[in-house]
Structure 1
Amino acid sequence: MIFNVDHISLKGSFFSNNLKRKVRFRLVAPPSFRNSDTRFPVLLMNDGQDFTALRLEHIITEAYRDKKLMPFLYVGLETDENRMKEYGTSGIADYKGRGDKADLYSLFVTEEFIPFLKKEFRASSHKEEWVFCGMSLGGLSAFDIVYNHPGLFGKAAVFSGSFWWRKKAYTRKDPEDRSRIVLDMVKEGDYSPHLSFWFMCGTHDEKADRNHNGVIDSIDDTMDLIKELQLKGYTYPGKISYVEIPGGKHDLPTWSGVFPLFLKWAFPKKISSAVDQ
């Protein structure tokens, strides 16, 4: 019997000692995974419960057929009622106490789950071949973990990121708005030359414009983060990519629509470099 395999998929759970709960995940692998002994690049994604709503089965299958892209493993980490506690910035909750378990989530990802993937699923041992992405608050979490663990990742991608996350309530008496946590996190962090960043915003992500400059907050926050990364040494364009979707909203259809473009950035096939053995 002759048949074609579009992709290989499984769902499972992993008990985290740090989070004291089971974390459900979905793994999708290319057809070549069955008969290969090589290790594969990895796309890790927060909010993996949105896999179906984002149409990722179709999008990833099409990516596997694209000869210009490297084959990769997709791993979506599902969240639950703990989302507002576990996503955020490690060690620094926002001014309302949200994200108070973000440090534990970071430990789960970096010290428990990544070693598990490397051991059980032939995930790449090269940091440059690990990409972490997320949407909204999940994007803030992905950026935080990648920026603070450059020894494990090569790229971070954020769709409509919650970069408004702040230490104290916004006030117009703070014109530079340094209460946004990611700005000082980047300023005080180390420069890692191998890291690359991909940001996306929609022009209709929201209507809020807290400083009344004619630019919605989500775009303002993202552009201010890009400026901070530039001051750290990352080039824009270059190490930093930014995509703005006219009419794009803070929703799953918008993020789904731009996901194929993101994958072209994340996993372009290397002309003279093979997947690590």
Structure 2
Amino acid sequence: MTLARLTLAAASMLPLAANATTVRVHYDSPKGGLAIRGDKGPMSWSKGADANSGDGKVWTYTWPDELGEVLMKPALGDDKVAIGGAYRLAAGSTRDIYPFFGAPFGKVKIIPDFASPQLKNSRKLRIYLPPSYDENRAKRYPVLYMHDGQNLFDARTAAFGVEWGIDETVNRLVATGVMEEIIVVGIDNTPARVDEYTPCCDPQYGGGQLDTYQRFVLDTVKPYIDSTLRTLSGKESTAIMGSSLGGIASVSIAQKNAAVFSKAASLSGSFWWNKEALVTTLPPRLPVKFYLDAGTVKDGLEETIKMRDALQKQGYRQDADLFYHVAEGATHNEKSWAARVDKPLAWFFPWQ
């Protein structure tokens, strides 16, 4: 063995050596062991270097800072490499990662008759749990809250028989290393959808129960999700998204609760509501990322452009805390939203 390899081998035995880069892999593998594949040192993409563990649950591997930035992935046994993208570790860093090795397919569970004491009604919650949820129980996840839950996962319950395909889209983006795993909470609408998703009050359509619906999301839905699932409950890991009236609901809720949500997406948002009041009465710039889009075919593009311009006047900047997108040829329906929902998902929850 060369001197360089001896040095690297010795370094790998030290969990937190000085002037060394360390990865800690959280994965319960008491018998199979775990190896690190990568692009430098004793690691390669075809053969891993053995990681060390005292309990079979946290596996540590260390290499000298001299290797510089390293791309790596954990491997289980000889043939299973972690699903998703490679991890990029800067020299001198210590990184905790939570991989999974099984099929990259999440699952949807339904909570029936979920009561709202604020609105005096009930509805279903449709919850997408990511692929690793049952496999790696050490991991916690960001959460995306979405309105019109019955349209998200199942064509049989979706409006006009077309679903968003959120589960399939997230599965694909996770498997290809585009986005992180997340939990998605779909909150079904009710016959009072127009009222619940809108601030007061449009001259033609009325509305005005959004503040009450907001309290339902914040005081009932989110506490339930955080107490029953392995979530990352802080602001930076919490987003809200919807389309049409659900789009303006998402923007308004995030504006009023910037301490809870760091990201809000409006697909084809109904910014015409109440004579464009949401456009003309913006609060000062907030520490929230906003995604806005609209299609070019009868989809409220003119009002969405006005909302974008108003946000930019407040200091929001494209690709920093504002993502504005025009969907050429798209109209106001689930098929169009399904075709581009990957954009806010990847922007809100990018890999690493």
When the two structures are superposed, what TM-score results if normalisation uses the length of structure 2? Answer: 0.65
What is the CA–CA distance in structure 1 between the aligned matches of 2:301 and 2:121, rounded to whole Å?
A: 35
What is the CA–CA distance in structure 1 between the aligned matches of 2:242 and 2:107, rounded to whole Å?
A: 22
2:196 is matched with: 86
What is the CA–CA distance in structure 1 between the aligned matches of 2:237 and 2:202, rounded to whole Å?
A: 31
2:285 to 191, 200, 203: 191
2:166 to 39, 56, 62: 56
1:33 is matched with: 133
Q: Are residue 8 (structure 1) and residue 118 (structure 2) matched? A: no
Instruction: Give structure 2 stretches of 5+ with no counterpart.
Output: 1-100, 155-162
Kindly state the Cα deviation for residue 104 of structure 1 after the two structures are TM-superposed. 0.8
Kindly state the Cα deviation for residue 246 of structure 1 after the two structures are TM-superposed. 1.2
What is the CA–CA distance in structure 2 between the aligned matches of 1:98 and 1:143, rounded to whole Å?
A: 19
2:336 is matched with: 254
What is the CA–CA distance in structure 2 between the aligned matches of 1:77 and 1:161, rounded to whole Å?
A: 18
2:124 is matched with: 24
What is the CA–CA distance in structure 1 between the aligned matches of 2:226 and 2:263, rounded to whole Å?
A: 18
Q: Secondary structure at the match of 1:198?
A: strand
Q: Are residue 230 (structure 1) and residue 340 (structure 2) matched? A: no
Give the conservation status (yes or no) of the 8 Å contact 2:144–2:183.
yes
Identity of aligned residues (%): 27
Instruction: Give structure 1 stretches of 5+ with no counterpart.
Output: 167-178, 207-217, 271-277
The superposition leaves residues 49-98 of structure 1 with CA deviations (integer Å, 9 ceiling, x where unpaired) of 11221222321221231323111001111102110110112xx2222353
What is the CA–CA distance in structure 1 between the aligned matches of 2:102 and 2:306, rounded to whole Å?
A: 51
1:150 is matched with: 258
Give the conservation status (yes or no) of the 8 Å contact 2:102–2:132.
no
What is the CA–CA distance in structure 2 between the aligned matches of 1:3 and 1:204, rounded to whole Å?
A: 41
Q: Secondary structure at the match of 1:248?
A: coil
Give the conservation status (yes or no) of the 8 Å contact 2:104–2:174.
no
Which structure carries more relative contact order (alpha carbon 8 Å, separation 6+)?
1
Cα 1:76–1:120 change in 2 (3 A) is same
The one-letter code of the counterpart of 2:167 is: E
Structure that is richer in helix per residue: 1
The one-letter code of the counterpart of 2:108 is: S
Kindly state the Cα deviation for residue 3 of structure 1 after the two structures are TM-superposed. 7.4
The one-letter code of the counterpart of 2:130 is: P
Give the conservation status (yes or no) of the 8 Å contact 2:108–2:126.
yes
2:268 to 145, 148, 160: 160
Aligned length: 241
2:41 is matched with: none
Kindly state the Cα deviation for residue 37 of structure 1 after the two structures are TM-superposed. 3.0
2:215 is matched with: 107
What is the CA–CA distance in structure 1 between the aligned matches of 2:242 and 2:213, rounded to whole Å?
A: 14
The one-letter code of the counterpart of 2:111 is: G
The one-letter code of the counterpart of 1:27 is: I
What is the CA–CA distance in structure 1 between the aligned matches of 2:227 and 2:252, rounded to whole Å?
A: 24
Give the conservation status (yes or no) of the 8 Å contact 1:26–1:77.
yes
Q: Secondary structure at the match of 2:281?
A: helix
What is the CA–CA distance in structure 2 between the aligned matches of 1:24 and 1:113, rounded to whole Å?
A: 11
Aligned alpha-carbon RMSD (Å): 1.9
Cα 1:269–1:98 change in 2 (3 A) is same
2:146 is matched with: 45
Structure that is richer in strand per residue: 2
2:324 to 239, 242, 250: 242
Give the conservation status (yes or no) of the 8 Å contact 1:30–1:64.
no
2:293 to 189, 200, 212: 200
Q: Secondary structure at the match of 1:197?
A: strand
Kindly state the Cα deviation for residue 5 of structure 1 after the two structures are TM-superposed. 6.3
The superposition leaves residues 72-131 of structure 1 with CA deviations (integer Å, 9 ceiling, x where unpaired) of 001111102110110112xx2222353222111011011211111111112212201111
